């Protein structure tokens, strides 16, 4: 039974920590850092902007909080330790603090075509292994909710799956939680559609298209290539809500007049520290969300950059784009 994981985030957990998320907790040593929540104060143009001209948030307007790894069982609605003070002390169960924005300082923010952005960052080269989406309010820049599912491959043997997951997630310490929570791709999309419906962003009666929302990705691969591939493997029709998307790298190029090859480059140029573990999908989606928040605060217009007319025919809407 699907359960919504409202306003939650996720970060790297050492293997020892994750292996104890369901049972009794020992005291593994976690690396804890102080992280800033987004609070932007800048004087910027509304066309092309140099991110290096933006001062970093001051101590006066930034709140400091102790970073804690996210309980990934909670992101799946499966955490059974919510009454355990020790567990709650060690693991994060909310992203509200991490993504909080000081609206009073968003002087350069402009109105957007969409009311909400769905930040998507898939993981899995052979088949999709992880499907995380962060829901961002385009007006307030706040994170409204988060959807996160680990995905079980449908065309791989158990031995190959075990090898694949050990190689991908074992080094991040989340292989056990993957095995405990992963479900087939078709179930993930059913859960996701329930989640979209709950937020009134999608409905079959609307023709299956998103309402007032758009996907935001770091590149075209997620929606252009991987989703259709997975649908083919799963023998299911490509959902109509995957027909257009926003490649944040293209918007970044046109707004800042700088070519960023990936998330890490954008974060470095915007002076945003990496939180969590790179290539853990849920953490990458969070970090891309932080880039999106910063760009919205700087005054960027976040618009559709690619539209699919057929499975093979994709139109790119910005002439100046990352190729």
- Per-residue pLDDT tens over the stretch 75-92: 999 999 999 999 999 888
CA–CA separation, 138 and 119 (whole Å): 12
By annotation, the residues acting in catalysis are 123, 279
DSSP state of 48: S
Asked whether residue 286 is domain-assigned, the answer is yes
Structure confidence at residue 13 (pLDDT): 38
Query: Is there a domain that residue 34 lies in?
Result: no
- Domain membership flag for residue 66: no
* pLDDT 10s digits, 226-260: 999 999 999 999 999 999 999 999 999 999 999 99
**Residue 120, in any domain of the structure:** yes
And the tokens for 2?
């699907």
Q: Indicate whether 41 belongs to any domain.
A: no
Alpha-carbon distance of 47 to 28, in angstroms, equals: 48
Record the pTM: 0.81
CA 271 from chain centre, in angstroms, equals 19
Range of the domain at 220: 102-316
Query: What CATH number did the domain enclosing 171 receive?
Result: 3.30.420.10
Residue 259 lies in a domain: yes
Contact 55, 41 (CB under 8 A): yes
Whether 184 contacts 152, CB under 8 Å? yes
Q: Are 112 and 301 in contact (CB under 8 A)?
A: yes
Query: What single string gives the DSSP state of each residue in 184-221?
Result: EHHHHHHHHHHHHHHTTSB-GGGTT-BSSEEEEESSSI
Total of domains in the chain:
1
Query: Is 302 among the domain residues?
Result: yes
Q: Is the pLDDT of residue 50 over 80?
A: no
130: in domain? yes
Give the pLDDT confidence score for residue 37 in this predicted structure: 40
Tens-place pLDDT, residues 185-207: 999 999 999 999 999 999 887 77
Residue 196's CB: how many other CB atoms inside 10 A?
20
Identify the pLDDT of residue 285: 96
Residue 105 DSSP class: G
Instruction: Write down the residue that tokens 């820049």 correspond to.
Output: 141
Mean confidence (pLDDT) of the chain? 82
């Amino acid at each position: 039974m699907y359960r919504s994981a409202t306003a939650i985030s996720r970060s790297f957990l050492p293997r020892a920590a994750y292996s104890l998320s369901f049972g009794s907790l020992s005291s593994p040593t976690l690396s804890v850092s102080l992280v800033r929540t987004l609070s932007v104060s800048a004087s910027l143009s509304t066309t092309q902007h140099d991110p290096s001209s933006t001062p970093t948030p001051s101590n006066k307007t930034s709140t400091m909080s102790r970073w804690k790894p996210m309980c990934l069982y909670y992101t799946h609605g499966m955490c059974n330790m919510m009454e355990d003070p020790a567990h709650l002390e060690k693991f994060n169960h909310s992203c509200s603090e991490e993504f909080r924005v000081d609206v009073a300082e968003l002087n350069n923010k402009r109105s957007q075509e969409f009311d909400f952005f769905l930040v998507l960052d898939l993981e899995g080269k052979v088949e999709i292994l992880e499907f995380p989406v962060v829901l961002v309010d385009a007006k307030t820049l706040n994170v409204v909710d988060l959807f996160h599912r680990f995905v079980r491959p449908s065309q791989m043997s158990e031995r190959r799956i075990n090898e694949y997951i050990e190689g991908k997630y074992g080094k991040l310490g989340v292989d056990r939680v993957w095995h405990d929570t992963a479900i087939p791709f078709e179930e993930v999309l059913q859960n996701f559609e329930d989640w979209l419906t709950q937020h009134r962003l999608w409905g079959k009666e609307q023709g299956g298209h998103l309402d007032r929302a758009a996907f935001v990705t770091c590149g075209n691969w997620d929606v252009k290539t991987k989703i259709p591939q997975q649908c083919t493997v799963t023998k299911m029709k490509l959902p109509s809500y995957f027909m257009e998307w926003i490649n944040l790298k293209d918007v970044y190029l046109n707004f800042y007049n700088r070519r960023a090859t990936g998330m890490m480059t954008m974060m470095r140029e915007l002076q945003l520290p990496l939180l969590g573990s790179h290539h853990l999908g849920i953490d990458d989606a969070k970090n891309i969300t932080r880039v999106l928040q910063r760009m919205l605060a700087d005054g960027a217009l976040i618009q559709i950059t690619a539209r699919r007319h057929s499975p093979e025919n994709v139109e790119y809407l910005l002439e100046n784009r990352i190729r």
